[in-house]
């Protein structure tokens, strides 16, 4: 298998245009010279890893850079190996800081597959396990996938705030530690919270002294058209921001950036052996250079706008399509039926386009190309997806 730009050649010898990016990881695409050369330089030093027991220069540099990018005053960073481990870290810190195991999460959320991350995963498709280390209460977020709109309307937001406030007001001797929220719910099918919704939830949380954890594992590093997904709302100031996915150009790296007193609240020593080693942090610094130099958040905004417009126009009138949803280059096409979504995804693959499958109802084709995608590739990808949906519709009608 090999890859270059937005194209991968599979072990089947065929080439594919990649609009899934290894589940939103390959922000820059494949074989990016700046990242490859940085990783090769690091490998030539002979040091891949020494652990965080001794200071790692590239880790310190990366932490300082992420602290600045986070917009959080006097921020501190902790590195992990995955999104799940980063979510787990945020939950550990928030519950310790507030001395309470009560956490509020959103109904269609996905936060990972460890004991704690799964506990705050509201999406019923993923929340299979019955036992949990936390007391989790779920509050409304977006309308169900088969509802009328892509995002919550004014009344639904107001209802969500009042449900959240009811939870925050209950049991004063066992306060809520935190609300954890994705600004755009990726696994649920790229469903954004409504304008002002996260800000309204954040105000309710803050007025009760609880913390706001923004899970930016899918929405971070520019994918939604801004550096962070929460920046689509004014005045959202996360206490803890969770990141992972595309930071290190495909190498494993996640982490939490947050307010110093929360980040430093653990009474015991705490370490992630692999978290932020030389190789992954060097790759991350090179990746951030490219994102900043090419202003890829802005590119995600314009390319996302083009892609969404082409999909909306092309899919209008195609049977079985509900809508196109998402933000920037975190997009999905929602179908009436999960079987149609699966058929379209497979038809896309046959036609040389990689897309994903997801959605709370399993009915979404997920579309998240690298942020470096060209206009030409956007057009090609959109044409292929539309043709695949038309083919699936024809098949549906004749069967
Ligand atoms: N949070 C969100 C919002 C995610 O989308 C994911 C992964 N899809 C995770 C956490 C977990 O990340 P990982 O798979 O790297 O553990």
pLDDT in tens, 299-353: 999 999 999 999 999 999 999 999 999 999 999 999 999 999 999 999 999 999 9
Return the percentage of the chain with pLDDT > 90, whole number: 90
Task: Note the pLDDT of residue 218.
Answer: 98
Name the band, by pLDDT with cuts 50, 70 and 90, for residue 147.
low
**Range 178-191 average pLDDT:** 96
**Cα separation, 346 vs 149, whole angstroms:** 27
Residue 19 to residues 192, 199, 300, 372, 384: CA-CA distances in angstroms?
19, 31, 13, 11, 11
Is the shortest distance between the CB of 87 and ligand 1 below 6 Å?
Answer: yes
Measured CA distances, 248 to 37, 73, 305, 339 (Å):
13, 24, 26, 34
Task: Note the CATH number of domain 2-31+295-398.
Answer: 3.90.1150.10
Contact 257, 13 (CB under 8 A): no
Q: Are 87 and 111 in contact (CB under 8 A)?
A: yes
Per-residue pLDDT averaged across 273-298, rounded?
A: 97
Helix, strand and coil percent figures for the chain, each rounded to 5? 40, 20, 40
Taking 90 as the threshold, does the pLDDT of residue 142 lie above it? no
In the numeric block, which tokens belong to residue 251?
A: 């190498």
Instruction: For residues 397 and 295, give the distance between their C-alpha atoms in angstroms, rounded to a whole number.
Output: 45
Average pLDDT on 252-257 reads 98
Q: Tell me: the pLDDT tens digits for 94-133?
A: 999 999 999 999 999 999 999 999 999 999 888 877 788 9
Check residue 124 and give its pLDDT.
87
Collect all residues with Cβ–Cβ distance below 8 Å to 195 and sequence separation of at least 6.
Answer: 151, 232, 233
Atom of ligand 1 nearest to the CA of 252: 15
- Atom 15 in ligand 1: residue holding the nearest Cα: 83
Any ligand 1 atom below 6 A from CB of 281 = no
- At residue 129, the pLDDT reads 72
**Residue 54: in which H helix or E strand, if any?**
none
Q: What is the mean pLDDT of the segment spanning 4-26?
A: 97
pLDDT given for residue 145 in this prediction: 56
- Read off the pTM: 0.97
* Residue 349 pLDDT: 98
CA dihedral 236, 237, 238, 242 (to 10 degrees): 80
Determine the average pLDDT of the residues in 363-389: 98
Q: Name the packing angle between helices 375-398 and 296-315 (round to 10°).
A: 30
Mean pLDDT of the chain: 95
Centroid of ligand 1 to alpha carbon of 85 (angstroms): 9
Atom of ligand 1 nearest to the CA of 24: 8
For a pLDDT cut of 70, what percent of the chain falls above it?
A: 98
Residue of 24, 26, 83, 256 best suited for mutating to test ligand 1, as the one with most atoms within 8 Å of CB: 83
Tally the residues of the chain: 399
Beta bridge partners of 80: 254
In angstroms, the CA 250 to CA 313 distance is: 33
Contact at 8 Å (CB) between 392 and 46? no
**Res. 81 pLDDT band, cuts 50 70 90:** very high
Q: What is the mean pLDDT of residues 197-203?
A: 97
CA distances from 130 to 45, 121, 300, 360 (A): 47, 12, 38, 19
CATH of domain 36-293: 3.40.640.10
Q: Which atom of ligand 1 is nearest to the CA of 117?
A: 10
For the chain, the domains span 2-31+295-398, 36-293
Confidence of residue 144 (pLDDT cuts 50, 70, 90): low
Ligand 1 midpoint to CA 251 (Å): 15
């Amino acid at each position: 298998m090999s890859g270059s730009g937005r194209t991968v050649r599979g072990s089947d010898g065929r080439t594919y245009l990649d609009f899934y990016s290894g589940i939103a990881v390959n922000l820059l695409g494949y074989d990016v010279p700046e990242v490859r050369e940085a990783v090769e330089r690091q490998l030539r030093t002979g040091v891949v890893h020494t652990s965080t027991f001794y200071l790692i220069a590239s880790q310190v540099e990366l932490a300082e850079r992420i602290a600045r990018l986070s917009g959080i005053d006097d921020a501190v960073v902790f590195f992990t190996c995955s999104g799940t481990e980063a979510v787990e870290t945020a939950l550990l810190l928030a519950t310790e800081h507030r001395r309470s195991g009560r956490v509020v999460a959103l109904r269609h959320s996905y936060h990972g597959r460890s004991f704690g991350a799964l506990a705050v995963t509201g999406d019923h498709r993923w929340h299979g396990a019955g036992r949990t280390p936390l007391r989790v209460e779920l509050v409304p977020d977006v309308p169900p996938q088969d509802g009328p709109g892509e995002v919550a309307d004014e009344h639904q937001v107001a209802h969500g705030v009042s449900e959240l406030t009811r939870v925050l007001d209950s049991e004063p001797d066992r306060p809520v530690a935190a609300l954890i929220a994705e600004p755009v719910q990726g696994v649920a099918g790229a469903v954004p919270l409504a304008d002002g919704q996260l800000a309204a939830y954040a105000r309710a949380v803050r007025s009760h002294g609880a913390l706001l954890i923004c899970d930016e594992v899918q929405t971070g590093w520019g994918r939604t058209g801004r550096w962070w997904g929460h920046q689509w709302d004014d005045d959202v100031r996360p206490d803890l921001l969770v990141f992972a996915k595309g930071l290190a150009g495909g190498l494993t790296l996640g982490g939490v950036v947050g307010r110093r007193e929360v980040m430093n609240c653990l009474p015991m020593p705490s370490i992630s052996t692999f978290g932020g080693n030389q190789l992954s942090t060097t790759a991350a610094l090179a990746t951030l250079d490219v994102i900043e130099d090419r202003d890829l958040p802005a590119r995600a905004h314009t390319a996302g706008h083009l892609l969404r417009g082409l999909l909306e126009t092309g899919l209008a009138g195609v049977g079985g399509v509900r809508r196109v949803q998402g933000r920037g280059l975190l997009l999905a096409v929602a179908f009436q039926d999960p079987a149609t979504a699966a058929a379209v995804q497979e038809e896309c693959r046959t036609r040389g386009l990689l897309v994903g499958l997801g959605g709370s109802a399993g009915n979404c084709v997920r579309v998240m190309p690298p942020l470096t995608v060209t206009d030409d590739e956007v057009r090609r990808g959109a044409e292929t997806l539309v043709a695949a949906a038309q083919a699936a519709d024809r098949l549906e009608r004749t069967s």
